Amino acid sequence: MPKGISRGYEPGRTLLLLPTTEIGVKYAARAEDDSLPADARQASRSLSEAEAALTTDDPELAVRLARESLAIFRKSEASAVPEALRILMCALADFEDRKEALSLGQDHLAELRAAAPVDRAAEALALQSLAEVASFRCRGELRTRAARWAEEAVAIQKELGDKKMEAYGYLALASAMTQQGVKAHQRKHYQRAVKALKSALELFTAPETSESECAELVIRSGEARALHGLASACGRLEDFRKSVAHAREAAAVWQQLGLKKEEGLELEFLARLQLQLGQFKEGRKSGEEALKIFIGLKSSIWQGVALRTLVKALLRGKKIKEARKLVNRRMALFKEAKDQVGIAATMDATAEVLMAEGDAAGAAGQLKEAVKLARNFGMKERQYKKYEATLTAEQANFFLQGQKYEDSLQHAKTAFFLFEKLDCQVEMATTLSTMVMSLLCTERADEALKETQRAIQIYEKLNDKKGEGLAWINHCSGLTKMGDFEQAMKVANKARDIFASQKLLIGEGQALDHLSSLHMTKGDFGKSATCAKRARQIFHEAACFRQEAFMSWAEAEALFGFAQLQDFKPDEELPESCRKASEAAEEALRLSREVDDEILVMHAQQVVAKTRIMCFRHWEAEEFIEEALEVAKRTNQRMEEASLVLLKAQVCICDGEDAKAQEVAKEAHAIFEELGNEQGMEQAREIIDGDYLRQQKEQEEYGVTAATPMPMMPSEAQMYGTGGIGPRTGAPGPGPGMPGMAPPPAAPAASAAAPAVKPAGGPTLEQIQETVVDIAMSLVGTDELEMDSALMDAGLDSLASVEFTNTITKEFRGVPMPSTLMFDFPTAKEIAQHIKDNFRG
């Protein structure tokens, strides 16, 4: 049985190593050479079998056989020691004993360099092996040394004129740089990796004539490895289109060579990239092909990897029943074969299905059982502890998605403790993010901010710019939750600067999403739309089409908010702002349908309906409202359901069916009351009590006016890879490219200032003055404002003045507010007096 499980193995590492094929072939032939002494034949046989054990993912057996071979060769044939040592180092690294592997390699290198003359080929091979072992799962200084060892190997091979080994030296260098980037995300590491990979590819595709068929195989294999490396590095640089193209090329080469395991690994990697691009059908096909290959190879480890990826593809394509059928069938087969590794791997995949079925506790339970099962796999203690910590962290994420926040917090704390004992800094910081989300969802923003500071400190220590930027976004979410919008704005801009400096498009888009939402909360709809539009463009450039659709919706909402501030009548030509809002809403709906996401489609239909009503085409809105309502009810999106019912009431008003509008509004009010949403209840009451109808008659306006109680934004929106806990939802969002979760109820975006409650009998002049000043200060962004100061001189620009007039109109209904209000009554004192003189209750 293979020792290890899917999460303990890395396809990227396997596909970038210098293959041991030539060594295996060479010593298999020596084992049959009767001219050699018996001990040499035995050592050769052990070494060839050790290489075969490496190929079949049995590193424990490979270690034992390689040790036997090395011990004999040390006594009888020094020239065979470098190759025997390479097999042993590779096996030790696979068996999670890198410390011994590095110690053996460094001692051997020292011996070679102390000899005279130095065997340069053996020296280069030792450097190559050291670089490969030190690149993965080793810490800071060793990763730096890995790059130096690889560079030394390249220099020696150039000197020797061995282009094949020089190219593999470049692969080792690329591997070291990629891993430096993984542990401390900086663009320069991946760019250096790309440069090394291109050098390797150039050498592999234009090599000198090979001396043997085996050497030719190694060269073509190198070509595929370089292509895989480019696919990986381009993915890290967020160029997913290039990444997919390179992975396809690599898979084609592996297929031509007949190397089934490598082909399967590449196809599984390709499937994940295709899911990132939203290519669910293509991802499913690649995942199925990979799984078939690993079933044929009888590799439980890689079957688990491919199975989980295929299940994700099925779930993203809304094929939940097919995914359930698949995991049930695989589980039955593994149980029949008593394959414990396969059972554990299938539990992992089953957990994904359970989450899609809405059973977060069941999903977490599957992972818990997988951890128990792993105790019997013969894993190293550190490897097991890392596996336990990883699955505990994933259980926390499952609970978070299932809105079981206390369970999520407890599991995240446990995972953090386990990672801390292992000194896994990156994993510690990542787990803190889950803790932050859980804390925010349980209204403990102050604690969440402390945890984001801890994460930021870890990322700063690691010099990980990407992680630091994401931690600042989480910090922004905490500040937003606490209502500190000004500081949240500063933090979001800081995060954006970090991402922009590293040219990390997805992170920059996430920061812009937060900025757009914060501007919306402050009532600055123009800036909100600008940020959303830029984020949409960035996500399109990064080929993150779900996020693009989400930001298109956000842009439409902002433009709708801005258009609602305009003063226009049915018999007048619609302002340009209405046209832009309508076009943006249509575009949001188109993009949402393209990515086939019914939740996004529902939100887009809602904003389309709102723009239709606003543009006096209410009869066109009803179809969109009904379709969106169907989705909201089916997916239990109660806040959205209430908002849509409220829109339905507004259509009734536009049709002149006042009594029906009041009945429909009662339905919306009941849902808002159930959810504890005061603002929604107030909007519904305006229709139920007839306040809106009376105002409409007084103003002699029809359709949508400034006082129409239409929510500026859908009250609840799922986040699709837009990072952290967004101010749009007050709920966690998933990682890049993964489905979101239903957040807890949150109120629609409030107006820029909360109106004061009017006392019975009408407000006094002092109360009116206080209200006017409060509204003006909220829009200007100041804490002080003189009653006799001209508001426009104090910073109330033309856009803010429109909203100021709109808010004042809503607050003091029945008071005529001329379009030239700011010029007729330039100070707060004069405006307050105008309101007092014309107040009718």
**Residue among 269, 319, 315, 275 nearest 289 (CA):** 269
Please give the pLDDT value at position 154.
Answer: 97
For helices 320-336 and 340-356, what crossing angle results, to 10°? 160
Q: CA-to-CA distance for 497 and 499, rounded, in angstroms?
A: 6
Q: CA-to-CA distance for 55 and 632, rounded, in angstroms?
A: 51
For residue 790, the 8-state DSSP code is: B
Which segments of 15-162 does DSSP mark as H helices, in order?
21-31, 38-55, 59-76, 81-94, 98-114, 120-135, 140-160
Q: What is the 3-state secondary structure (H, E, C) of 510-528?
A: HHHHHHHHHHHHHCCHHHH
Please give the pLDDT value at position 808.
Answer: 80
Q: CA-to-CA distance for 317 and 39, rounded, in angstroms?
A: 58
Q: CA-to-CA distance for 40 and 26, rounded, in angstroms?
A: 13
Q: CA-to-CA distance for 86 and 737, rounded, in angstroms?
A: 39
pTM recorded for the entire structure = 0.77
| β-pair partners for 726 | 731
**Residue among 2, 3, 1 nearest 96 (CA):** 3
Query: CA triplet 507, 508, 512: central angle to 5 degrees?
Result: 115
Please give the pLDDT value at position 814.
Answer: 66
For helices 38-55 and 59-76, what crossing angle results, to 10°? 150
What stretch of H or E contains 835? Answer: helix 828-838
For helices 545-564 and 576-594, what crossing angle results, to 10°? 160
Please give the pLDDT value at position 694.
Answer: 56
Record the tokens describing residue 827, joined without a space: 């100070």
Phi, psi of 32 (to 5 degrees): -100, 5
Q: Which residue's structure tokens are 């740089």?
A: 177
Please give the pLDDT value at position 612.
Answer: 92
**Residue among 675, 569, 547 nearest 614 (CA):** 569
What stretch of H or E contains 763? Answer: none
Say whether 138 sits in a helix, a strand or coil. coil
Please give the pLDDT value at position 691.
Answer: 64
Alpha carbon dihedral 479, 482, 483, 488, in 10-degree steps, equals 0
Domains parsed from the chain with CATH numbers: 492-732 (1.25.40.10), 765-838 (1.10.1200.10)
Please give the pLDDT value at position 207.
Answer: 61
Please give the pLDDT value at position 781.
Answer: 63
Q: Which residue's structure tokens are 């402050």?
A: 522
Distance of CA 75 to CAs 40, 63, 70, 88, Å? Answer: 10, 19, 9, 17
Which segments of 184-259 does DSSP mark as H helices, in order?
187-205, 213-236, 240-257
What stretch of H or E contains 411? Answer: helix 405-422
Q: What is the mean pLDDT for each group of 10 consecutive residues in the chain (841 residues)?
A: 43 75 93 94 96 86 95 93 94 85 95 93 95 80 89 96 94 92 82 95 76 76 96 92 96 95 95 92 96 94 93 93 96 94 93 94 95 84 89 95 94 96 92 95 93 95 91 94 92 94 92 94 90 94 92 95 80 84 96 92 95 90 94 90 93 89 93 89 87 55 40 34 38 30 28 32 76 78 74 71 75 72 81 80 49
The number of residues making up the chain comes to: 841
Please give the pLDDT value at position 740.
Answer: 29
Please give the pLDDT value at position 571.
Answer: 67
Q: CA-to-CA distance for 66 and 43, rounded, in angstroms?
A: 9
Query: How deeply is 700 buried, as exposed, middle or buried, from its count of CB atoms within 10 A (0-12, 13-18, 19+)?
Result: exposed
Q: Which residue's structure tokens are 């209204």?
A: 443
